[in-house]
Chain A
Amino acid sequence: ETGVTQTPRHLVMGMTNKKSLKCEQHLGHNAMYWYKQSAKKPLELMFVYNFKEQTENNSVPSRFSPECPNSSHLFLHLHTLQPEDSALYLCASSQGTSGNRELFFGEGSRLTVL
C-alpha cells in the first residue's frame, strides 16, 4: 500500500456523537496536515504536524481535536459538531515543511453532520 490513506471515506454523525477520522501515509514523510474543504470554498488549513509536533493550529474550534502518535498516522477527533462542519476533510503529507515541498493528499473523508 502506498500514498496517503484516509478512513472512513464517508461519515454521517449527529451533533452529540464522537467520532474520529484517520489518516495514514506510507511515503516516509515527516509532516502531516488536515485541511477542510467546504462547498464552493477554497481549502482551509486546519492543523500541521512536523515530526509529531503540532506546529500550526489555524484557529480551529476545540470540537476538532487532532492527534499525531507518530509521523505516519494522524487522527482528527470530532465531538459535538455543528451542521456547518459538514465538509470534505483532506489529509496531506510532505517531506519537511520548507517552502517548496510537494503535498501528497489522501482521498478525503466526507463528513455530514445532522
Chain B
Amino acid sequence: KNEVEQSPQNLTAQEGEFITINCSYSVGISALHWLQQHPGGGIVSLFMLSSGKKKHGRLIATINIQEKHSSLHITASHPRDSAVYICAVRSGNNNDMRFGAGTRLTVKP
C-alpha cells in the first residue's frame, strides 16, 4: 500500500463547481506539497504546507497533522484547471519525497 493515498483517482466536474481532492498519508512529515501536472508533463508546485491552511487565488489547501490528512479545494472551477493533481509528503530532512498516484481532474465547460 502506498504511503500517500489520494482520492478520488478521477474526477469530472462542470465549470463553476467546487472541487475537493483528498490526500491521506501514513508517515510523519515535515511538509506536504500539492503539485499540478498538465497534459504536457510539466509539474508546477501549488502549495507547500506543514500546518493550517493556505490560499492562492481560487485554490485552497488545508492540512490536519493529527489526522494525517490534507485537502485541495478549487472554487469556481474552470476548464483550464483540468490537470493531474499530485499530493507529496516529505519526512524529516531527508531527500525522500513520497508521492501519491495523482487525481485526474477534468472540468467541462
Q: Do A and B bind each other?
A: yes
Contacting residue for B102 out of A42, A45, A105, CB 8 A: A42
Within 8 A of A (CB), among B52-109: 86, 88, 90-102
Q: Which residues of A contact B41 (CB under 8 A)?
A: 37, 88, 90, 107-108, 110
A102 near B95 (CB under 8 angstroms)?
no
Complex contact A102–B48 (CB within 8 A): yes
List, in ascending order, chain B residues with CB within 8 A of A88's CB: 41
In the assembled complex, B14 has its CB within 8 A of some CB on chain A:
no
The answer for the CA separation of A45 and B100 in the assembled complex, in Å, is 13
Known contacts A99-B30, A99-B92; A107/B99 CB under 8 A: no
A55 within 8 A of B: yes
* Contact in complex: B101, A55 (CB < 8 Å): no
| Chain B hits for A43, CB < 8 A | 86, 88, 99
Contact with B along A89-114 (1 / 0, CB 8 A): 01010000111101111111010000
Min CB–CB distance B90 → chain A (angstroms): 6
* Cβ B101 vs Cβ A56 within 8 A: no
Are the C-beta atoms of A103 and B33 separated by less than 8 Å? yes
What are 17 inter-chain pairs, A to B, with CB distance below 8 A? Answer: A33-B95, A42-B2, A42-B102, A43-B99, A97-B93, A98-B93, A99-B31, A99-B91, A102-B33, A103-B33, A103-B45, A105-B35, A105-B42, A105-B43, A105-B44, A108-B41, A108-B43
Interface, chain B (partner A; CB < 8 A): 2, 4, 30-31, 33, 35, 40-45, 48, 50, 86, 88, 90-102
A: residues with CB less than 8 A from B are 33, 37, 40-43, 45, 48, 55-56, 88, 90, 92, 97-100, 102-108, 110
